[in-house]
Amino acid sequence: MKTIQKILFLSLCFSIVNSIYPIAVFHGIVDNCNMKNTSMLVNDLKRDLGVHVECIEVGNGFWDSVFMPIMKQVEYACNQIKSNPNFQGKFNVLGISQGTLIGRYIVEKCDMKGQVVKYMSFDGPQMGIGSIPKLNCGVVCDFLNNITVPTAYNYVNFCAPCGYIKYRYDQETYQKKNVFLKMLNNENEEKDMEIYNRFSSLEKVKIIKSHQDSVITPRDSSWFEFFDKEGREIVPLQESDFYKNDNIGLRKLMEEGKVTFAEFREEHVLYSIVEYFEEIVPFFEDE
């Protein structure tokens, strides 16, 4: 009898330890899976969660993160997930910066065998970027942004960020010309119910923005917020059409208590040890 009890106890422990699903990590722009910050996060999560954590590389990483069209990047990532034996069942997704959009495509559109259970977005341009990253240095940079950003829609096949730029002072052109982000945010006239059903079926979502983020403009885009039509004030999430129309099912998940928001104190995609152990690790622990 004691032997049977030991076996049952060990089986229970084994099931608890292995109840955390594998995690697919998607890094940001000008990065690759072997660079310090990304590889450190992956290795730390492996150690602290005791589960398979893998950074999914897109193309050659660094250069392709910039110059491979974002639509091709998400399709490439989808094929990587589909062929990876670690992600054939339930798994979680952690997206970092541009990788949050790639990760969301996996959630919403990838025709895979596996199923995403939890989705974490860390400093992602979820509603687009209103200016070129790092060009936030006063009048001169405003002048450069006003020249370059409106033409970015024409270079979507040569520049990954061109797929999610949304010029803050001319959002009508974004509505006419953008393909990728409008698709991902379900902003087309005919709603894609697959996107809504798949995102709204997530068990948990965590959305992180950084208080000192100088890369994502506005930084509030990381919380699914953006400038008003005049390009001046940030529209709170609950007051936006994106939320009111529940384009992707985020409102449904929020009303069900399945979404948490966090604001980190550091610069873009940086975090403290406290934030790591209080915000990142616990999110993936309990299934």
Q: 260-281 in b/e burial notation, b at 16+ Cβ within 10 A?
A: eebebeeebbebeeebeeebbe
8 Å CB contact between 162 and 156:
yes
8 Å CB contact between 96 and 126:
no
Q: Would you place residue 242 in the very low, low, confident or very high pLDDT band (cuts 50, 70, 90)?
A: very high
Average pLDDT over residues 37-50: 97
Q: What is the pLDDT of residues 113-125, one digit of tens each?
A: 999 999 999 999 9
Average pLDDT over residues 199-226: 96
Q: What is the pLDDT of residues 85-129, one digit of tens each?
A: 999 999 999 999 999 999 999 999 999 999 999 999 999 999 999
More confident residue, 260 or 15: 260
192 CB neighbour count, 10 Å cutoff = 17
Model pLDDT, residue 90 = 97
- Strands 23-26, 53-55: parallel, antiparallel or unpaired by DSSP? parallel
Burial of 208 (0-12, 13-18, 19+ CB in 10 A): buried
First to last CA, the chain: 31
Q: How far apart are CA 252 and CA 250, in angstroms?
A: 5
Model pLDDT, residue 12 = 41
User: How much is the pTM?
Assistant: 0.89
Model pLDDT, residue 11 = 39
Q: How far apart are CA 14 and CA 2, in angstroms?
A: 18
Model pLDDT, residue 156 = 82
Nearest CA to 107 out of 125, 97, 122, 121 is that of 121
Check pLDDT > 90 for residue 14. Answer: no
Distance of alpha carbon 96 from its chain centroid, rounded?
6
Which segment of 11-20, 33-42, 77-86, 192-201 scores lowest on mean pLDDT? 11-20
Q: How far apart are CA 129 and CA 216, in angstroms?
A: 6
**pLDDT above 70: percentage of residues in the chain:** 86
Model pLDDT, residue 148 = 64
